[in-house]
Structure 1
Amino acid sequence: MSTVFRLDSSIRGEGSVTRAVADTLESALVADLDGAAVLRREIGLTPLDAAAWGLSAFAGYVPEDQRSPEQVKAMALATELADELVAAEAYVFAVPFYNFGVSQHVKAWVDLLMTEPRFAPGTQSIAGRPAFLVIARGGGYGAGTPREGWDHATAWLTRVFSDIWGLDLQIIESELTLADVNPAMAELRELAATNLEEAHNAAHKHGKRLAVVLSAA
């Protein structure tokens, strides 16, 4: 049985674009891959304790019998997060773009994982495995737009998932997701709808292809 790890980090339940696009990928995969299991980690609606990173990081410098209960708990959480990733053959990271960067929820998750020996910089415990970053941005940040260069999330996430952890990463992007609710973006609504449709189409195709890859593994 193949296991796919899915991370959801949107602070929205209903109406989340990253959740919806990730659902499309997951549905296509499960439809074509018998016995596929999806291991889920929700950090948007159920955030990790932001203090856990520091506790786990410094616990490594303290003799085991002298660690505080809080340090022991934080290290156990880091191990749990690492076990989830190691147990999977493929990954879906659904990550919204907040305030021009990576949300605190995702940063806390990555920081805590990097205190675990299997995911410290320089180690590649899951290198080569397929992964998909589903990212949604409320505005437009492409070349020639007023906010070109303001996306401080995608490159950082790519650095972590691809360069540090060594995953075979594909990115599924959706922009202008706030067009329907922002009157100032009304003229962009048709473009936004097309962009979203393309993201779902890409997710569907990736899910189908991933099923083939995992079936052959």
Structure 2
Amino acid sequence: MATLLHIDSSLNGENSVSRAVARSFREAWEQQHPEGTVRYRDLAAEPLPHLDGLAYHTQSVPAEERTPEQVAAFALREELASELEAADAVLIGAPLYNYSIPSNLKAWLDHVIIMGRTAGEGSTIAGKPVTVVTSRGGSYAPGTPMEGNDFAHPYLNWLLGGSLGMDVEFIVPELTLAPIVPAMAGLIGKSKESRERAHEQARERAKALAAQLAA
């Protein structure tokens, strides 16, 4: 049966829109794969250490030539990359924080991006479907005052779809702060519409991938 790797990075717990939409995806996925496997990582609850120099440069040393210190430093990268490679599909909750991605998600990416393995020519994860739920407190859509200031979407699109060669699709609930920011009260209706649309897109994406992987 298919395996889903589910990554959450939001710091907002049960109030998180990216977590809620990702949960809709996961629930639809599990309905299609009741005997499948879901590997879940909550990067906010259990943050990964930032990549250090030893762990980074060890990727360039052939496995049979690594010192015990290098092996130990690379162990977490090996675990995370193997986990990513073993998944049939990937789901990432990536809210927009300060115009980019959460630092805990960047830490995970730094660990799993291994040149000559997951990245570069002959990537071991090329073509793997990845769904990114990137929620935004306001709107950064074309024609809005904040157009062009969302640096998470283009970064993840290039990194996942370009450098790593994955099959990436985005689900973008917007205006998530409207219900709690008084100045945005007039946008609550649009916020609700965007959220409901994102949940539906998540369920449909999960069902479509399930059918694709079962074919």
TM-score scaled by length of structure 2: 0.91
**Secondary structure of the equivalent of 2:13?**
coil
Using the alignment, how far apart are the partners of 1:159 and 1:153 within structure 2? 10
The 1:139–1:72 alpha-carbon spacing in structure 2 relative to 1, beyond 3 Å, is same
Which residue number in structure 1 is paired with residue 178 of structure 2?
179
Which residue number in structure 1 is paired with residue 86 of structure 2?
87
Using the alignment, how far apart are the partners of 1:85 and 1:115 within structure 2? 12
The 1:31–1:105 alpha-carbon spacing in structure 2 relative to 1, beyond 3 Å, is same
Using the alignment, how far apart are the partners of 2:127 and 2:13 within structure 1? 31
C-alpha displacement of 1:60: 4.5
Query: Segments of 4+ in structure 1 off by > 6 A?
Result: none
Using the alignment, how far apart are the partners of 2:43 and 2:115 within structure 1? 18
Maintained 8 Å contact 2:131/2:169: yes
**Secondary structure of the equivalent of 1:151?**
coil
Q: Deviations over 1:12-63 (max 9, x none)?
A: 221111111011011111112241211112212211112x343311335676
**Secondary structure of the equivalent of 2:117?**
helix
Give the total of aligned pairs: 212
The 1:61–1:133 alpha-carbon spacing in structure 2 relative to 1, beyond 3 Å, is closer
TM-score scaled by length of structure 1: 0.91
The 1:55–1:43 alpha-carbon spacing in structure 2 relative to 1, beyond 3 Å, is farther
Using the alignment, how far apart are the partners of 1:122 and 1:84 within structure 2? 20
Which residue number in structure 1 is paired with residue 18 of structure 2?
18
Counting only pairs closer than 5 Å after superposition, residues 109-188 of structure 1 correspond to structure 2 as 109-115=108-114, 117-188=116-187
Using the alignment, how far apart are the partners of 2:112 and 2:81 within structure 1? 6
Using the alignment, how far apart are the partners of 2:186 and 2:123 within structure 1? 45
C-alpha displacement of 1:179: 0.6
The reply to whether residue 106 of structure 1 matches residue 110 of structure 2 is no
The 1:15–1:74 alpha-carbon spacing in structure 2 relative to 1, beyond 3 Å, is farther
Maintained 8 Å contact 2:116/2:123: no
What value does the CA root-mean-square deviation take over the aligned residues? 1.7
Amino acid in the other structure paired with 1:88:
A
The 1:189–1:75 alpha-carbon spacing in structure 2 relative to 1, beyond 3 Å, is same
Using the alignment, how far apart are the partners of 2:40 and 2:34 within structure 1? 18
C-alpha displacement of 1:155: 0.6
